[in-house]
Structure 1
Amino acid sequence: MIAHPFDQAIALTASGENTFTGATSPAYANMVGPYGGITAATVLNAVLQHPALLGEPVSLTVNFCAAVADGPFEVRAVAARTNRSTQHWTVAITQGGESVVTATVLTAVRRDTWAAVEHTMPEVPAPEDVPLPTARGRVEWINRYEMRFIEGGFPGVWDERDNGHSRTRQWVRDQPPRALDFASLTSMADVFSPRIWHRRARFVPLGTVSMTVYFHASSALLAANGERHLLGQAQGQAFGQGFFDHSAQLWNQDGLLLATSHQVVYYKE
């Protein structure tokens, strides 16, 4: 059986204590190097397959120190501290002996407690009622996702018009469809195109510098989702002095909040 392109892209081979080797996948190519979401998923995968893992992911922060070059890389994942129910990891991806990605991961053994969600899912049309884009993605990784835009799709005209806000709402799932898990949820947290392109329709050079994902679901809940779509929402918060940030949310079709994320992006004009 041929593995899903996503699983091929994040595949790692243990090469020593705390170390793994992998390679970039052309299926998830971006303008320069691989799509950031697949790199973040690879970081998490190193922790998920580590024999010392305790619990399940609670948060992940990935810092993109330099562009990941196409080709092989090494991942080092170290449990910096293990407590009774929490575990703190440091992870680094290196190429040619230099760090290109640094990261931290928090995992924990979750317990049932009182719960509430304040960021509720907006009312939107069902996935089947939202048409697919007709154009193929300009970079290859976009074609690995089925994205149905409810609001805030890619700008049709780069006319530098200020749209007043940068919010996007879209249904998303892997293409071809794949059952949801922590790694694929991590990657989907980065499917949102740069907010500055939506706030002001100008194609400026940019790159994500740091990205954090907070996980609000268990592995059992993710498995129950199967191949169904998730609703993603993203909006910028502040733009200026060469950087902007955005926050994002991902819900399942039952309205359960699965993950939230935040990232800061460098841009220049």
Structure 2
Amino acid sequence: MDARVDDSIHPFDAATRVELLGGRWQGATSDDYHAFVGQFGGATAATLLRALMAQPERTGDPLAFTVNFCAPIAAGRFDLTPRLIKATRSTQHWGIELTQGGDDVEAFATAVFAQRRETWSHRPAEMPQTASYDEAPVYSRAGVAAAWVRQFEFRFVENEPSFGAGTQAGPASPHTKAWIGHAVPRTLDLLSLSAIADAFFARIFHVRGELLPIGTVSMTTYFHVDAADLVAEPITAVLGVADANVFHKSFSDQTGELWSPSGKLLATTHQITYFKA
């Protein structure tokens, strides 16, 4: 669980790199984070958030971050258009669009940045009882077609997926617990959390016991820590707890929690996902 430092650029940082070229912010997809169709949504989310955090006018750290995925992102470069919508003394509201082929919007996001101040604090949420990181076996990713899965290490402690050739006799539980970190160890920061928030396997995979066509439509992540909190407690993996409430007429929800090994709730996430079954 201790953070390790490597002088070479991490695959996650390379995949989510942004730069200002000719007056426009740009990024590019990475083969390392390819999904079944287009790029892994977590990598896209982290790239959008990185671009917003790179803005010179930005103050504070992300508090709420919503990404809407309009279409699969084709391999190659894309343009990013950030905009400061409104700023107050404590918060900033930003928007950003990802376009390819001119004005074709493939994804867009809104983010609230906040300057957290020391004040009264109370954490009634309690970390679920579970096996520790060291006690949990590493999930085998052998044969997994989606490249992005190989960029993360999963250690399931409850409801490890078992993908069969057909549907199960009945729906299984959508609830899972798993330790999740980068496959190449990396100290987790807010960008990592924004990507891991989408690293849960689709709930319908667990419920049906098979791989089906799916796609995240919209995802919101709420951050309960700032950058300084993560620096004070450097970690390389979180306990991810995920569940779902409804599968109905081609769409399902997903809820998720990201916990530090010390029992601190770092982020919560909610998303709506398309499925074909």
Q: Scaled by the length of structure 2, what TM-score is found?
A: 0.93
Identity %: 38
- How far apart, in 1, do the equivalents of 2:89 and 2:203 lie? 40
Aligned partners of 1:179 and 1:225 also within 8 Å: no
Q: Which amino acid aligns with 1:189?
A: A
Match of 1:260 in 2: 268
Q: Which amino acid aligns with 1:108?
A: A
Offset of 1:138 from its aligned partner?
A: 2.5
Aligned partners of 2:235 and 2:260 also within 8 Å: no
Match of 1:182 in 2: 190
Q: Which of residues 239, 242, 250 is equivalent to 2:250?
A: 242
Q: Which of residues 121, 132, 149 is equivalent to 1:126?
A: 132
- Is 1:28 paired with 2:33? yes
Match of 2:217 in 1: 209
Query: Which one is further off, 218-227 or 31-40?
Result: 218-227
Match of 1:225 in 2: 233
- Is 1:55 paired with 2:64? no
- Is 1:7 paired with 2:13? yes
Runs of 4+ displaced beyond 4 Å? none
Offset of 1:115 from its aligned partner?
A: 2.7
Q: Which amino acid aligns with 1:148?
A: R
Change (3 A) 1:205 1:147: same
- Is 1:83 paired with 2:91? no
- Is 1:148 paired with 2:148? no
Q: Which of residues 167, 171, 175 is equivalent to 1:160?
A: 167
Aligned partners of 2:163 and 2:205 also within 8 Å: no
- How far apart, in 2, do the equivalents of 1:176 and 1:167 lie? 26
Aligned partners of 2:66 and 2:219 also within 8 Å: yes
Offset of 1:164 from its aligned partner?
A: 4.1
Q: Unpaired segments of 5 or more residues in structure 2? A: 1-6
Aligned partners of 2:250 and 2:274 also within 8 Å: yes
Aligned partners of 1:173 and 1:227 also within 8 Å: no
Q: Which amino acid aligns with 1:138?
A: A
Offset of 1:222 from its aligned partner?
A: 1.4
Offset of 1:77 from its aligned partner?
A: 0.8
- Please give the secondary structure, in 2, of the residue aligned with 1:51: coil
Aligned partners of 2:179 and 2:239 also within 8 Å: yes
Aligned partners of 1:228 and 1:253 also within 8 Å: no
- How far apart, in 2, do the equivalents of 1:202 and 1:175 lie? 24
- How far apart, in 2, do the equivalents of 1:60 and 1:88 lie? 10
Change (3 A) 1:109 1:135: closer
- How far apart, in 2, do the equivalents of 1:183 and 1:122 lie? 24
- How far apart, in 1, do the equivalents of 2:228 and 2:107 lie? 29
Offset from partner CA, 1:83-104 (integer Å, 9 cap, x none): 1111000110000021000110
Q: CA RMSD in A?
A: 1.4
